[in-house]
Amino acid sequence: MRILVVGGGGREHALCWKIAQSPQVTHLFCAPGNAGIASIATCVAIAAEEVDVLCRFARDERIDLTVVGPEAPLVLGIVDRFRAAGLAIFGPDRAAAEIEGSKAFMKGLFAKYGIPTASYQLFTDPAAALAYVKGRSAPMVVKASGLAAGKGAIVCPTVADAVAAVERIMVTREFGVAGDQVVVEDFLQGEEASFMALVDGEHVLPLAGSQDHKAVFDGDTGPNTGGMGAYSPAPILTPRLHDLAMERVMYPTVRAMAAEGRPYRGLLYAGLMIDGEEMRVLEFNARFGDPETQPLLMRMQSDLVPLLQAAAVGSLRGMTITWDPRTALCVVMTAGGYPGSYEKDLPISGLEQAAAVPDAVVFHAGTRLQDGRVVTKGGRVLGVTALGVDAAAAQRVAYVAAERIHWPGVHYRRDIGYRAVGRR
C-alpha cells in the first residue's frame, strides 16, 4: 500500500512511525512532515490545509489510503474532496467534523440526545456574554466555539477572569473567527481523561485510555497549551468506567451523529471529566489527540493500517487491538515562551543521545532541517516518549532521554504522569 499522512506534528510523526512498521506499506508519504518524519517517510512540501493540492498529489501518486492528522483540514472538508475523487481517506467528513469545529454544534447535540455534559450558555454578542458572566458566580469555563489549537478553553476561577476571557475571545479576537461564538459553561470537578475510539459509522472500537497535561507549568498551573505531556493507560479509567464511557458517551454520540445525517467515520475523541462514577463530556475532537497518540501508539502491538482502512472504507466489526501491558509516557519539550510568543530556528542538540536510551523514542513536532541541522520551528518541538513497567518507570526513562536534549530556552514540565505515579 501507498499511504499519505497529512500533517507535520508529533501526532503525525507517531502515526508515520507506527504505519511504517506495517508489512502492508510499500511507500509512505507525509505532507508537510518534519525533520523527524523525514527519516521514515517521503516528506512533501504541501500544507495540511491545501486540500485541493493534496487531492491532486494523492491521485497522481496513486495513494491507497490517506490518513488525516490535524483538525483544520477535516473541518475544511478534505474528506469530502477526496471521496468525491474516489480516493480512500481516514477521517470524518466536513459535516461530521463539526463536532470539533463548532462547540456550539457539539453542545446542541449533547442537549438533544441526552449526552452528559456541563450546563452552558451560548453567545454571539460580546455585551450579552459579558453581562451573563458578571451576573453569575465563579468558577466557570469560557470557550471559543471554533478551532483554537487547543488553547480556546479558559478556566476562570473568578468573575474578573471570566470577563477577561470573554474580552480576549470576542473583543480582541485572540483566536480569530473561532471567537465568533462563545460558550460559557459550569466548571466541573473531577479528573480529566482522554477516551479515543475508531469508528466506521456504526461500530466503535475503543483505544486504550490516556491522560494529558494541558497546563504549561508543573502542578497543572499556568495557561492551557496544546498539551505538555500524556501517558497511557490512565488509572482513572477503570474497566467499569471504560464500559460506562462506551455506554453513556461513545455509542450514543455515534448513533446521534447518524440520526443527524452526519455518519461518523474516523477517530472520535472524547475529553471526559470523571468524578466517582459521574462522567461528563468536556469536548469532542474529530482526530487523534496530540500528545496522547504518542504513548498510545508506543503501546499498540496490533498493525494500525488494517484498522485505519476498516474505519475509512470497511467495517470494524469483529476487529480487536492488542496492547503492551506496560505504561507509555510522553514529555513534550517546548520553545521558551510557549504558548505565547517564542523564538524559532534554534539548533537542537542531543537527539542521537536521547534516541539511544532504551525504550525511548523522540517524536518530532515543531522541527525542520536547516543546513543539515535540526532546528526548532514551532511551540511544541519534541515529544520524548518512553515505556516502563509502570508509570514511575516510564516517567524515569522519559526524563533521562529528555535531559539529553538541549536548545536555548527549552522548557518542559518535570511532573508528567504525577497522578498515575501517585496511585501506586
Return the amino acid letter for 283. E
Nearest to 89 by CA among 74, 79, 103, 77: 79
Which residue matches cell numbers 532521554? 401
**pLDDT higher than 90, residue 9:** yes
**pLDDT confidence band for 151 (50 / 70 / 90):** confident
Instruction: Find out whether 370 and 299 touch, Cβ atoms under 8 Å.
Output: no
Across residues 197-203, what is the average pLDDT?
Answer: 97
**pLDDT confidence band for 48 (50 / 70 / 90):** very high
**pLDDT confidence band for 277 (50 / 70 / 90):** confident
Gap between the Cα atoms of 312 and 100, Å rounded: 19
Residue 94 CB: number of other CB atoms within 10 A?
16
What are the residue ranges of helices labelled H in 186-235?
none
Q: Which residues pair with 376 in a beta bridge?
A: 367
Instruction: Find out whether 44 and 57 touch, Cβ atoms under 8 Å.
Output: yes
171-210 per-residue burial string, b: 16 or more CB within 10 A, e: under 16: eeebbeebbbbbbbbeebeeebbbbbbbbbbebbbbbbbb
Asked if the peptide bond before residue 339 counts as cis, ω within 30 degrees of 0, the response is yes
As a whole number, the mean pLDDT across the chain is 96
**Cα three-residue angle 412-417-420, rounded to 5 degrees:** 170
Domains and CATH numbers, the chain: 2-94 (3.40.50.20), 125-180 (3.30.1490.20), 191-313 (3.30.470.20), 327-422 (3.90.600.10)
pLDDT, residue 424, reads 61
**pLDDT confidence band for 224 (50 / 70 / 90):** confident
Gap between the Cα atoms of 343 and 346, Å rounded: 7
Burial of residue 258 (CB within 10 Å: 0-12, 13-18, 19+) is middle
> SS3 of 123, please?
strand
**Cα three-residue angle 330-331-334, rounded to 5 degrees:** 135
Q: Which residues pair with 363 in a beta bridge?
A: 383
Gap between the Cα atoms of 20 and 3, Å rounded: 9
Nearest to 90 by CA among 61, 58, 60: 58
Instruction: Find out whether 212 and 226 touch, Cβ atoms under 8 Å.
Output: no
Give pLDDT tens digits for 279-315.
999 999 999 999 999 999 999 999 999 999 999 999 9
Q: pTM value?
A: 0.94
